[in-house]
C-alpha cells in the first residue's frame, strides 16, 4: 500500500473582506457663497477608503514513518494576499511560501 | 453617508493518517530540520507575522517531560530564527512549589504609508482648471524602508502553596518584561495643519516590565487576597526631529505675516514623536466571604498611581466593588453588584503665544479628559427550569460623570447614563445545546465630540468677515448610539456520533437621534457555521463559514480656509 506509513494534515482558509463609503449626494450649507472652493473635487472621496482584500492560506504537513518512533517531516505553507483596492499603503498584493524538511523523533 | 463593511471567511481543516501501525503516544518529541521562505511582491499582509528567510536555516521543536519523585519538569520550545522562537519551562515540586518560565519572540511587519494620496491643489478657477489656493504635498525621506517590530516577552512566576495552620495559603512572586524593537514611521505636519507632510524612519526600542507579589489568606469562611504591582515603561530610542517649514502664502509663496501669525513655529528642526518614560504602582485587595450556606459577598479595593516621568504628571485611580450573591432556592440565584471608580489626573499648563502675536490669548490650563467618577449597579437573577435549561435576567445602570469633558451641546452636560436590560436563555437537549440573548440599552448623552464640526460662518471679527472661527464650532458628532438593540444566538447539534454542526448569528441595530447635525444609524449582522466530521479513524474534516456585514452613518465635513 503506497501510503501505508503516511500522515497528512491539511488546513485551508479563504477570506474576503470589503468596505466602502456611500457616495456623497448632497452638502449642507450655502456652498455657493464660498469662493475658491471646488466641491466637485470632493466627488470621489468615498472611494478613498475602499477596502477589498482576498486572503488564501494553505498549510500542509506530511509525516512518513520510518519506524514507530522516527518519521521524515515535510511542511509547506502558502499565503496569498490580494489587494483589489490599494490606497494608503500602496498595492499590498503578495505571496509567502514556507517550506521545511526534517525528522521527528518520539521518545 | 454610510460606511459598509463585509467580511467572508471559509475555513477547511482535514487530517488523514494512513499509518500502518498505530502512532506511538508519547509526551516527548524532537523535530530537527531546515526551513526557508520567500515573499513575492509585498509581504505586509501576506506574511504579516512571518519573515522571508531565503536560505536554508536550522529549526528545532521539542517537548521533554520528566518526573523524578516529587519533582516534575516540563520543557517545550520552538526555534525558527533569531527573531522567531518560544520556550516554556514548568517545574513542580510536590504541591508546595511551582516555577513557570516563558519566553516568546516574534516578528511583526508594519505597513509603510506611501503618503501618495497627500498630493493635490485646489483650483481657483475650476472651469479653466487653474491651480491655486490651498494645497497639500508630501516628502518621504525614507521611501524604501520596511517597518517592523520584533516583540520579545519574558516572564518568571514563582508560586508557593503553604500547607500549615497559618492564615497564609499561597504566595506568588512574578516578573514580566516586554521589549519592542525595530523601526517605525514618524510623520510631521507643517504650516497651519496639513499642507506639507514629511515622513522618515525612526528606531523603536521600548521596554515595559511588571514586578508583582500576591498573597492569599483564609480566615474562617473568608478568603483575602492582596496584589501589589510595580510597572515601568522605558523608551530607549533616540529622540528624532523633523524640519517644520516656514509658513508661506499658499498662492504667491511669499512670507506674509498674515500666515506666519497663524502658526506656532516654523523654519526650524524640532523634536517629535517621542514616547516618554512612565511608571505605575498598583495595590489591590479582594475579599470573598461565605456568610451563610446561601449568602456570599465579594469585595475589592484598588488604588493605583501612574507617573509621567518626563513632565512629572501624576494620575491616581481609586476603585471599589461589592457583590452580594444569594441562593434563594435550588433553582434561583440572585446577584447584586455595585462598582465605583474615580480618576484624578494632574492639570498641565500649555504655554502658547497669543493668536496672531498680539490677539486673543491661546495659552491655557489643560484639564484632563481622564478625570471622572464612574459607578454602576447591576442586578442579575438566574432561574433554572431544570438541570438543562436556565433563564438569566440582567439590569444594569451606569453613570459616567466627567470633570472636564462636555458630551452634549445643548445642555453642556458632562454626564452619561446608561440603562441596560438583558434576557438570556440557555438550553441543553438530547445531542444539542442552544442559547439566545436579547439586550436593549438606552444611553443618555453617549460620548461625543460636542463642538467638533460646523463653525458659525460669517463671524465678524476686527471689522472683517471670517468663514471660520476656531472657538465657535457648534456641531455634534459621534459613532456611539443612544439606543442599542442586540440579539445573538447559537445552536450546536451532534448530527451523528462522528459529526457536529454549530450555527450562530448576531444582529445589532443602534441609532443616535440626540445629535444636532445628523441621525446616526448603526447596523451589523454576522452569521456562520462550523461543521466537524470524523470520516474514519484517520480522517477528520472541519469546514467553517463566516459572514459579517456592518454599516454606519457618518458625516463628511470640509475644512474651509486654513486648518
Out of B9, B21, B33, whose CB is closest to A73?
Answer: B33
Taking an 8 Å cut-off on Cβ atoms, the answer to whether A94 and B35 are in contact is no
Q: Is the pLDDT of residue A66 over 70?
A: yes
Give the gap in angstroms from C-alpha A59 to the nearest C-alpha of chain B.
9
Shortest distance between the Cα of B214 and any Cα of chain A, in A, equals 38
pLDDT given at position B7: 65
Pairing of the two strands B348-350 and B364-366: antiparallel
* Residue A98 CB neighbours (<10 A): 21
Can you give the pLDDT at residue B563? 39
Look-up of cell digits 477596502: A51
| pLDDT score at B136 | 84
Residues of B in contact with A95 (CB under 8 A): 39-41, 46
Q: pLDDT tens, position by position, for chain B (563 residues)? A: 566 666 666 666 666 655 445 455 568 999 999 999 999 999 999 999 998 888 999 999 999 999 999 999 999 999 999 999 999 999 999 999 999 999 999 999 999 999 988 888 776 666 777 767 677 889 999 999 999 999 999 999 999 999 878 899 999 999 999 999 999 999 998 876 567 899 999 999 999 999 999 999 999 999 999 999 999 999 999 999 999 888 777 667 776 666 666 677 888 999 998 889 999 999 999 999 999 999 999 999 999 999 999 888 999 999 999 999 999 999 999 999 999 999 999 999 999 888 777 778 889 999 999 999 999 999 999 999 999 999 999 999 999 999 999 999 888 999 999 999 999 999 999 899 999 999 999 999 999 988 877 766 555 555 555 555 556 678 888 999 999 999 999 999 999 889 999 999 999 999 999 998 889 999 999 999 999 998 887 778 888 889 999 999 888 877 665 43
- CB distance A76 to A99 below 8 Å: yes
Q: Scanning every residue of chain B, which has its alpha carbon at the shortest distance from the alpha carbon of A107?
A: B28
Instruction: Label residue B412 exposed, middle or buried (CB < 10 Å: 0-12, 13-18, 19+).
Output: exposed
Q: What is the mean pLDDT of residues A15-28?
A: 84
Distance CA B27, CA B64 (A): 7
What local confidence, expressed as pLDDT, does residue B526 receive?
Answer: 94
Q: Stretch A24-42: mean pLDDT, rounded?
A: 71
What residue spans define the domains of chain A? 6-105
- Which chain B residues are within 8 Å of A56, Cβ to Cβ? none
**pLDDT attached to residue B25:** 58
Distance of residue B426 Cα from the nearest chain A Cα, in angstroms: 31
Collect all residues of chain B within an 8 Å Cβ-Cβ radius of residue A6: 16, 18-19
Measured between CA atoms, how close is B37 to chain A, in angstroms? 4
Output B213 or A69, whichever has higher pLDDT. Answer: B213
Total count of residues recorded for chain A: 107
Contacts of B375 (CB under 8 A, 6+ apart): B338, B339, B340, B341, B398, B399
**Residue A6 and residue B112: Cβ atoms within 8 Å?**
no
Task: Output the pLDDT for position B16.
Answer: 64
Classify B445 in phi/psi space as left (phi over 0), alpha (psi -120 to 50) or beta.
left
Pairwise CA distance, residues B407 & B325, whole Å? 35
CB of B367 within 8 Å of any CB in chain A? no
Identify the pLDDT of residue B18. 56
Q: How far apart are CA B358 and CA B379, in angstroms?
A: 58
Q: What is the ipTM of this complex?
A: 0.89
Amino acid at each position: 500500500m503506497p501510503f501505508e506509513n503516511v500522515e497528512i494534515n491539511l488546513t485551508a482558509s479563504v477570506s474576503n473582506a470589503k468596505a466602502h463609503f456611500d457616495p456623497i449626494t448632497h452638502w449642507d450649507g450655502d456652498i455657493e457663497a464660498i469662493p475658491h472652493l471646488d466641491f466637485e473635487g470632493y466627488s470621489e472621496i468615498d472611494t478613498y477608503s475602499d477596502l477589498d482584500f482576498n486572503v488564501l492560506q494553505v498549510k500542509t504537513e506530511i509525516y512518513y514513518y520510518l519506524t514507530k518512533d522516527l518519521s521524515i517531516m515535510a511542511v509547506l505553507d502558502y499565503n496569498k494576499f490580494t489587494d483589489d483596492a490599494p490606497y494608503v499603503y500602496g498595492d499590498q498584493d503578495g505571496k509567502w511560501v514556507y517550506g521545511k524538511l526534517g525528522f521527528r523523533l518520539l521518545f | 453617508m454610510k460606511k459598509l463593511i463585509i467580511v467572508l471567511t471559509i475555513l477547511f481543516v482535514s487530517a488523514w493518517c494512513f499509518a500502518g501501525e498505530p502512532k506511538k503516544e508519547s509526551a516527548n518529541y524532537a523535530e530537527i530540520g531546515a526551513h526557508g521562505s520567500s515573499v513575492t511582491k509585498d509581504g505586509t499582509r501576506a506574511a504579516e507575522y512571518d519573515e522571508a528567510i531565503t536560505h536554508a536555516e536550522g529549526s528545532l521543536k521539542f517537548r521533554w517531560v520528566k518526573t523524578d519523585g516529587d519533582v516534575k519538569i516540563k520543557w517545550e520550545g520552538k526555534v525558527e530564527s533569531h527573531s522567531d522562537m518560544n520556550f516554556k519551562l514548568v517545574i513542580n515540586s510536590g504541591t508546595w512549589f511551582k516555577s513557570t518560565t516563558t519566553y516568546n519572540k516574534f516578528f511583526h511587519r508594519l505597513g509603510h504609508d506611501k503618503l501618495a494620496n497627500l498630493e493635490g491643489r485646489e483650483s481657483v478657477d475650476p472651469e479653466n482648471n487653474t491651480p491655486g489656493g490651498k494645497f497639500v504635498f508630501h516628502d518621504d525621506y525614507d521611501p524604501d524602508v520596511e517597518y517592523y517590530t520584533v516583540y520579545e516577552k519574558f516572564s518568571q512566576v514563582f508560586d508557593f502553596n503553604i500547607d500549615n495552620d497559618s492564615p497564609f495559603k499561597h504566595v506568588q512572586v512574578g516578573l514580566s518584561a516586554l521589549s519592542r524593537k525595530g523601526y517605525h514611521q514618524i510623520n510631521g505636519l507643517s504650516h497651519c495643519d496639513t499642507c506639507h507632510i514629511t515622513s522618515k524612519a525612526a528606531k523603536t526600542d521600548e521596554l515595559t516590565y511588571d514586578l508583582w507579589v500576591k498573597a492569599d489568606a483564609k480566615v474562617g469562611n473568608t478568603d483575602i487576597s492582596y496584589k501589589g504591582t510595580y510597572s515601568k515603561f522605558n523608551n530607549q530610542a533616540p529622540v528624532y526631529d523633523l524640519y517644520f517649514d516656514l509658513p508661506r502664502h499658499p498662492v504667491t509663496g511669499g512670507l506674509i505675516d498674515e500666515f506666519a501669525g497663524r502658526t506656532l513655529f516654523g523654519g526650524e528642526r524640532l523634536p517629535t514623536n517621542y514616547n516618554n518614560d512612565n511608571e505605575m504602582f498598583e495595590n489591590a485587595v479582594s475579599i470573598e466571604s461565605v456568610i451563610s450556606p446561601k449568602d456570599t459577598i465579594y469585595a475589592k479595593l484598588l488604588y493605583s498611581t501612574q507617573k509621567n516621568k518626563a513632565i512629572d504628571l501624576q494620575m491616581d485611580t481609586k476603585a471599589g466593588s461589592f457583590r452580594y450573591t444569594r441562593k434563594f432556592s435550588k433553582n434561583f440565584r440572585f446577584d447584586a453588584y455595585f462598582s465605583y471608580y474615580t480618576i484624578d489626573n494632574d492639570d498641565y499648563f500649555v504655554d502658547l503665544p497669543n493668536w496672531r502675536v498680539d490677539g486673543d490669548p491661546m495659552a491655557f490650563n489643560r484639564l484632563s479628559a481622564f478625570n471622572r467618577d464612574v459607578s454602576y449597579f447591576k442586578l442579575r437573577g438566574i432561574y433554572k427550569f431544570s438541570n438543562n435549561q436556565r433563564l438569566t435576567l440582567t439590569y444594569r445602570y451606569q453613570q459616567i460623570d466627567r470633570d472636564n469633558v462636555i458630551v452634549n451641546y445643548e445642555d453642556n452636560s458632562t454626564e452619561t447614563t446608561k440603562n441596560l436590560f438583558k434576557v438570556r436563555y440557555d438550553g441543553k437537549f438530547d445531542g444539542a445545546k442552544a442559547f439566545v440573548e436579547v439586550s436593549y440599552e438606552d444611553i443618555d448623552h453617549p460620548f461625543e465630540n460636542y463642538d467638533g464640526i460646523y463653525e458659525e460662518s460669517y463671524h465678524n471679527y476686527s471689522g472683517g468677515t471670517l468663514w471660520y472661527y476656531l472657538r465657535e464650532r457648534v456641531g455634534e458628532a459621534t459613532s456611539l448610539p443612544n439606543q442599542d438593540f442586540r440579539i445573538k444566538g447559537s445552536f450546536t447539534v451532534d448530527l451523528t456520533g462522528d459529526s457536529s454542526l454549530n450555527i450562530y448569528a448576531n444582529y445589532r441595530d443602534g441609532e443616535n437621534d440626540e445629535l444636532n447635525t445628523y441621525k446616526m444609524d448603526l447596523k451589523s449582522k454576522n452569521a456562520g457555521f462550523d461543521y466537524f466530521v470524523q470520516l474514519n479513524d484517520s480522517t477528520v474534516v472541519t469546514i467553517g463559514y463566516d459572514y459579517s456585514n456592518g454599516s454606519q452613518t457618518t458625516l463628511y465635513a470640509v475644512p474651509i480656509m486654513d486648518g
